[in-house]
């Protein structure tokens, strides 16, 4: 924190922090635009028929990994807010691990699917899941980076914005995957 902002009255600093958090949430919300566009493209080009090559079992498994990663991320934030370093370390490790596992599960499913390149479903599927995989991989990397930062400079109940930002960002791949699962595997 800069010396100028540390000289602000507490109420002014709290207002500034709330504004930053609100602005970050708007930024994360704006990242949903590619998923809306790709979801629309899926229906325009591929129609509303689920491709039989899309494995519902794999989709459910990936969804379970993503939800578990989101839950672990939420628990890591709760631990950081309470100042419990051991719980934070454990839950942030699980959030990162499950984030990486879900990303690599999508990549593994790409390798097992036999989708012809000219198939509109295949193009929409690879575009939307590829976009999601990038966001999920970045979220898992951010959890890992916050773990490393926490070892140098521990979070406190008053100062845990880094992990809060990562968890807020982690909502993006979580909600996006639930939408992807519904669009690609169910509808």
Which residues have CB under 8 Å from 112's CB, separation 6+?
55, 58
The DSSP code for 51 is: P
Q: How far apart are CA 131 and CA 135, in angstroms?
A: 7
Sign of torsion over alpha carbons 181, 184, 186, 187: positive
What pLDDT, on a 0 to 100 scale, did the predictor assign at position 9?
52
Position 1 pLDDT exceeds 50: no
CB contact at 8 A, 17 and 161: yes
| pLDDT tens readout for residues 83-124 | 898 999 999 999 999 999 999 998 888 887 776 667 667 777
* Confidence band for 15, pLDDT divided at 50, 70 and 90: low
Domain 35-186 - what CATH class? mainly alpha
Average pLDDT over residues 21-33: 71
* Domain assignments of the chain as residue spans, ordered by start: 1-30, 35-186
Per DSSP, 183 falls in state I
């Amino acid at each position: 924190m800069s010396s100028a902002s540390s000289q602000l009255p507490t109420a002014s600093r709290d207002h500034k922090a709330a504004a930053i958090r609100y602005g970050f949430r708007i930024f994360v919300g704006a990242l949903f635009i590619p998923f809306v566009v790709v979801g629309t493209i899926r229906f325009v080009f591929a129609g509303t028929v689920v491709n039989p090559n899309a494995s519902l079992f794999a989709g459910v498994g990936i969804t379970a990994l993503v939800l578990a990663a989101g839950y672990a991320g939420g628990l890591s934030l709760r631990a950081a807010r309470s100042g419990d370093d051991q719980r934070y370390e454990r839950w942030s490790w699980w959030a990162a691990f499950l984030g990486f596992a879900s990303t690599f599960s999508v990549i593994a499913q790409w390798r097992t699917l036999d989708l012809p390149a000219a198939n509109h479903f295949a193009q929409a599927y690879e575009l939307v899941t590829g976009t999601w995989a990038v966001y999920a991989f970045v979220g898992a990397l951010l959890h890992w980076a916050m773990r490393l930062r926490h070892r140098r400079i521990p979070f406190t109940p008053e100062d845990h914005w880094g992990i809060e930002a990562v968890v807020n960002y982690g909502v993006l791949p979580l909600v996006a995957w639930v939408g992807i699962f519904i669009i690609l595997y169910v509808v």
